[in-house]
């Protein structure tokens, strides 16, 4: 792990939304990063963060004292914001085209962007990374810099929150060649940026549709488990995923019920062993937010549970249980990940730590 003589100055784009709030709470006291700038829409600009968030703070965690008096800036003041930070996290609420444009504009202003948004996930030279799985995909940043005409500016993204509970298991089992996956995700309401006071109709209710989520669940893993050829990403062509995504009355934590077919014939013991021993760049380099171990395998029949397991390793880890033989597929299991920590802000923070360790993010 690198030792920084001084902390990197961080800006939060979209700091007033739920994911922006999660960035701010997770970065409070971070050993490498200090939030110095918060940006949002013009309606919040000019107010202190505390004033801008009156009646809008949605997390159970309290607002950190260190950010309360920061004056919120207009997200469109790119030059001013870029001059005051070393890099930014992006959690903006705009159309996809607007997000692409503004993230590119920050990158062109020589400010690296680590994004929670989906807009750039399929841009050919933008890496979409789970640091334990496909850290090598950051290598394409040099190709992106040539397109943007930058020396240090680029955009990197983390994948969708709903895939975090099962793609790590598929990555751990690559030697056994998984080729067909059927998954149903049971997704918390905070994934929609809401809590129960915002969305009372979710109490005691299930909604069997989340716009765009099934498409993301089926195709994003193929990029993560794919490769780079000729300066472009090539999707994994040896895997098919079908999914259903359901909104459930849970505040935090996306659960996945997963069925897998393998070309090879692993034993249950081999599958569990690979989960327990799976690690990657964050663990090997002892990054500040790295969960240890990355995957928490639980042997009890009734685990993982949201109430007991969603904050495993402060929400940065993934919990898996109930690996067992199936009558139609080869095996099935249950996965769980915290959707606004590992699945959103925390996953982006771990990406940023990895980018610092690899030398892509530095002090200006």
Question: Each residue of 301-344: pLDDT tens digit?
Answer: 999 999 999 999 999 999 999 999 999 999 999 999 999 999 99
Q: In this predicted structure, what is the pLDDT of residue 84?
A: 96
What is the reported pLDDT for 214?
97
pLDDT attached to residue 3: 81
What are the tens digits of pLDDT across the range 135-153?
A: 999 999 999 999 999 999 9
pLDDT at 263: 98
* Catalytic annotation, pick one of 120, 182, 245, 254: 254
Average pLDDT over the chain, rounded to whole? 97
pLDDT tens digits, 149-168: 999 999 999 999 999 999 99
| pLDDT of res. 46 | 96
| Average confidence (pLDDT) over 53-60 | 94
Confidence of residue 5 (pLDDT cuts 50, 70, 90): confident
pLDDT, tens digit, for every residue of 170-218?
Answer: 999 999 999 999 999 999 999 999 999 999 999 999 999 999 999 999 9
Residue 52 near residue 75 (C-beta atoms within 8 A): no
Residue 44 has pLDDT above 90, yes or no: yes
Taking CB atoms within 8 Å and a gap of at least 24, the contacts of 263-268 are 263/176, 263/177, 263/178, 263/179, 264/175, 264/176, 264/177, 265/176, 265/330, 266/173, 266/176, 266/331, 268/323, 268/324, 268/325, 268/331
Q: What is the mean pLDDT of residues 355-361?
A: 98
Q: What is the pLDDT of residue 230?
A: 84
**How many angstroms separate the CA atoms of 217 and 196, rounded?**
25
Q: Is the Cβ–Cβ distance between 339 and 282 less than 8 Å? A: no
Residue 351 known to be catalytic: no
Q: What is the pLDDT of residue 224?
A: 97
Q: Which one of 137, 161, 338, 351 is the catalytic residue?
A: 161
List all residues 6 or more positions away from 335 whose beta carbon is below 8 Å from its beta carbon. 165, 166, 168, 169, 255, 256, 258, 304, 318, 319, 320
Active site residue 161: yes
pLDDT per residue over 87-102, tens digit each?
A: 999 999 999 999 999 9
Does 268 score more than 90 pLDDT? yes
% of the chain with per-residue pLDDT over 70: 100
**Cα(24)–Cα(275) distance, integer angstroms:** 31
Query: Average pLDDT for residues 74-93, to the nearest whole number?
Result: 97
pLDDT for 220-256, tens place per residue?
A: 999 999 999 888 899 999 999 999 999 999 999 999 9
């Amino acid at each position: 792990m690198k030792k920084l003589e001084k902390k990197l100055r961080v800006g939060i784009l979209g700091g007033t939304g739920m994911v922006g709030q999660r960035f701010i709470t997770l970065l409070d006291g971070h050993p490498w990063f200090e939030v110095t700038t918060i940006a949002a829409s013009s309606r919040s600009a000019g107010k202190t963060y505390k004033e801008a968030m009156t009646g809008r703070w949605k997390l159970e965690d309290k607002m950190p004292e260190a950010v309360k008096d920061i004056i919120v800036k207009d997200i469109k003041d790119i030059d001013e914001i870029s001059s005051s930070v070393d890099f930014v996290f992006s959690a903006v609420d705009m159309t996809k085209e607007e997000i692409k444009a503004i993230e590119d504009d920050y990158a062109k202003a020589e400010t690296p962007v680590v994004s929670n948004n989906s807009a750039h996930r399929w841009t050919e030279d933008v890496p979409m990374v789970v640091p334990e799985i496909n850290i090598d995909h950051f290598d394409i940043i040099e190709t992106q810099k040539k397109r943007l005409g930058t020396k240090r500016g680029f955009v990197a993204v983390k994948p969708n929150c709903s895939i975090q509970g099962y793609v790590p298991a598929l990555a751990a089992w690559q030697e056994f060649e998984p080729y067909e996956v059927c998954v149903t995700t049971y997704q918390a309401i905070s994934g929609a940026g809401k809590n129960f006071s915002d969305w009372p109709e979710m109490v005691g209710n299930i909604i069997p549709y989340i716009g765009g989520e099934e498409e993301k669940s089926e195709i994003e893993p193929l990029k993560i488990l794919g490769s780079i050829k000729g300066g472009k990403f090539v999707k994994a062509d040896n895997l098919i995923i079908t999914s259903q995504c359901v909104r459930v009355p849970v505040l935090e934590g996306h659960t996945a019920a997963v069925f897998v077919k393998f070309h090879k014939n692993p034993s249950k013991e081999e599958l569990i062993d690979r989960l327990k021993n799976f690690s990657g760049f964050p663990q090997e380099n002892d990054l500040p937010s790295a969960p240890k171990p990355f995957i928490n395998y639980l042997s009890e029949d009734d685990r993982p549970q949201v109430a007991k397991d969603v904050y495993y390793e402060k929400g940065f880890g993934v919990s898996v249980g109930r690996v067992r033989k199936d009558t139609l597929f080869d095996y099935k299991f249950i996965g769980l990940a915290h959707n606004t920590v590992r699945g959103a802000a925390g996953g982006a923070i771990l990406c940023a730590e990895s980018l610092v360790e690899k030398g892509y993010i530095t002090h200006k």
